[in-house]
């Protein structure tokens, strides 16, 4: 279990109004709640956030999915289509520091809850709009979904077996990255407000985030003009940096430099591979990737998973197993770090943020849906 601090957290006193559902906006709200902000989540009366029903499995009244991204919040069921509901939200926004919404572009204007309307009553408000494609551009009116954005951004085209179909990541990674980028943008906007006394409008687009996530692969294309392709579990810029089959399963070997490559060959007793001048540099190993892997493969297959991982760790060669989710939560390092938590009888995964030895995880579970207006 993680340690609990009685001292005020970094964002204690910050008030956040969340008009967001599904994952990207709620993930940002949960990050802020973990850091100490007071987060009030506004939901539809009756059903609430869509993810409350995204099960099984369920924990109490809500699906595990909902609990994954709504820890530490309060919830109010408000019908914003009604004048009294709009008035209630306006009252909440008047006293808030941050508002997070993920309606379609212009969707809140009909209720008088758009940025311009709320900025007029609360000039210090940091107003965050999360959409699929941003507040402008030819796709601005389109709905955005993580799965679709993984495809449109090229992420799926570089993920999966080169002889198979494109693959999405096993979690909604674009939504999650958008949530983290959003929380970072919020903190920057609050710092700016300290200097100017005024809030601002933050425009977060899932397509923008997914494109920025291309990282080295995006730069590979921009530098070469050649569109990267799927390499399965291999790395486009480093070799050998991939999954290898062993006697009883698979291991990941992640050789990052020439010295690590030589030590890998020592562990495998593959002297002739180490002495091949074609493999002396990473650039050479990438160019001769297929030949190199074919030569290393029989050495790998002669060893057990535990034996190889132990030997590589002793030699300082980065390597690791491919765990099931069950294995992760029973891993001694994860147990030691307190990443598996339980709050009010609800299991969960702790925040990865640790400040001065204290893990920044909210101390209340996801909220029940409370009627308001």
Q: For residue 314, what are the domain limits?
A: 241-322
Average pLDDT, integer, range 77-86 = 96
Let me know if 175 is a catalytic residue: yes
User: Confidence class of residue 131 from pLDDT cuts 50, 70 and 90?
Assistant: very high
User: Confidence class of residue 370 from pLDDT cuts 50, 70 and 90?
Assistant: confident
**How many structural domains is the chain composed of?**
2
Catalytic residue among 175, 271, 331, 356: 175
Q: Are residues 127 and 252 in the same domain?
A: no
Q: Are residues 36 and 163 in the same domain?
A: yes
Q: Are residues 206 and 139 in the same domain?
A: yes
* 3-state DSSP of the chain: CCCCCCCCCCCCCCEEEEECCCCHHHHHHHHHHHCCCEEEEEECCCCCCHHHHCCCCEECCEEHHHHHCCCCEEEEECCCCCHHHHHHHHHHHHCCCEEEECCCCCCCHHHCCCHHHHHHHCCCCEEEEEECCCCCCCCCCCCCCHHHHHHHCCCHHHCCCCCCCCCCCCCCHHHHHHHHHHHHHHHHHHHHHHHHCCCEEEEEEHHHHHHHCCHHHHHHHHHHCCCCCCCCCCCCCCCCEEEEEECCEEEEEECCCHHHHHHHHHHHCCHHHHCCHHHCCHHHHHHCHHHHHHHHHHHHHCCCHHHHHHHHHHHCCCEEECCCHHHHHHCHHHHHHCCEEEECCEEEECCCCEECCEECCCCCCCCCCCECC
DSSP summary character for residue 234: S
What pLDDT is recorded for position 8? 87
Q: Are residues 172 and 270 in the same domain?
A: no
User: Confidence class of residue 2 from pLDDT cuts 50, 70 and 90?
Assistant: very low
Within a domain: residue 85? yes
Q: Are residues 312 and 343 in the same domain?
A: no
The span from the CA of 50 to the CA of 48, in Å, is 6
Q: Are residues 46 and 156 in the same domain?
A: yes
Average pLDDT, integer, range 319-324 = 96
What pLDDT is recorded for position 373? 55
- CATH number of 351's domain: 3.40.50.10540
Burial environment of residue 167 by CB neighbours within 10 A (0 to 12, 13 to 18, 19 or more) = middle
Is this structure's pTM higher than 0.85? yes
Q: What is the pLDDT of residues 164-173, one digit of tens each?
A: 999 999 999 9
Q: Are residues 270 and 350 in the same domain?
A: no
What is the residue-averaged pLDDT of the chain? Answer: 96
Q: Are residues 143 and 250 in the same domain?
A: no
The span from the CA of 98 to the CA of 18, in Å, is 8
Q: Are residues 161 and 42 in the same domain?
A: yes
Sheet containing 241-246, strands listed edge to edge, beginning at the edge strand earlier in sequence: 241-246, 249-254, 319-321
Q: Are residues 122 and 195 in the same domain?
A: yes
Q: What is the pLDDT of residues 277-297, one digit of tens each?
A: 999 999 999 999 999 999 999
Q: Are residues 166 and 284 in the same domain?
A: no
């Amino acid at each position: 279990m993680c340690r609990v601090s009685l001292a005020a957290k970094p964002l204690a006193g910050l008030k956040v109004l969340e008009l967001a559902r599904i994952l990207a906006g709620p993930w940002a709200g949960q990050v802020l709640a973990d850091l100490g902000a007071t987060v009030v989540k506004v939901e539809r009366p009756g059903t609430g956030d869509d993810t409350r029903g995204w099960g099984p499995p369920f924990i109490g009244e809500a699906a595990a999915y909902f609990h994954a991204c709504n820890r530490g919040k309060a919830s109010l069921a408000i019908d914003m289509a009604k004048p009294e509901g709009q008035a209630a939200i306006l009252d909440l926004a008047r006293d808030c520091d941050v508002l997070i919404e993920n309606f379609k572009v212009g969707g809140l204007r009909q209720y008088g809850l758009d940025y311009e309307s709320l900025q007029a009553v609360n000039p210090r408000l940091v107003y965050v709009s999360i959409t699929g494609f941003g507040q402008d551009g030819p796709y601005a009116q389109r709905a955005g979904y993580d799965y679709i954005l993984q495809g449109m951004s090229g992420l799926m085209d570089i993920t999966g077996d080169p002889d198979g179909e494109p693959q999405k990541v096993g979690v909604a990674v674009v939504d999650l990255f958008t949530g983290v980028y959003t929380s970072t943008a919020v903190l920057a906007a609050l710092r700016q407000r300290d200097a100017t006394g005024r809030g601002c409008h933050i425009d977060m687009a899932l397509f923008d985030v997914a494109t920025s996530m291309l990282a080295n692969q995006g730069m590979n294309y921009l530098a070469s003009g050649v569109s990267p392709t799927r390499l399965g579990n291999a790395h486009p810029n480093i070799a050998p940096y991939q999954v290898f089959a062993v006697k009883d399963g698979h291991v990941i070997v992640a050789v990052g430099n020439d010295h690590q490559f030589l030590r890998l060959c020592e562990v495998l007793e593959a002297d002739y591979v180490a002495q091949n001048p074609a493999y002396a540099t990473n650039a050479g190993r990438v160019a001769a990737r297929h030949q190199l892997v074919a030569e290393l493969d029989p050495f790998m297959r002669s060893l057990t998973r535990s034996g190889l991982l132990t030997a590589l760790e002793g030699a300082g060669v980065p390597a690791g197993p491919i765990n099931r989710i069950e294995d992760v939560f029973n891993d001694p390092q994860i147990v030691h770090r307190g990443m598996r938590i339980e709050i009010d009888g609800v299991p969960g995964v702790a925040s990865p943020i640790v400040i001065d030895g204290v893990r920044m995880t909210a101390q209340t579970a996801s909220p029940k849906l409370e009627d308001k207006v």
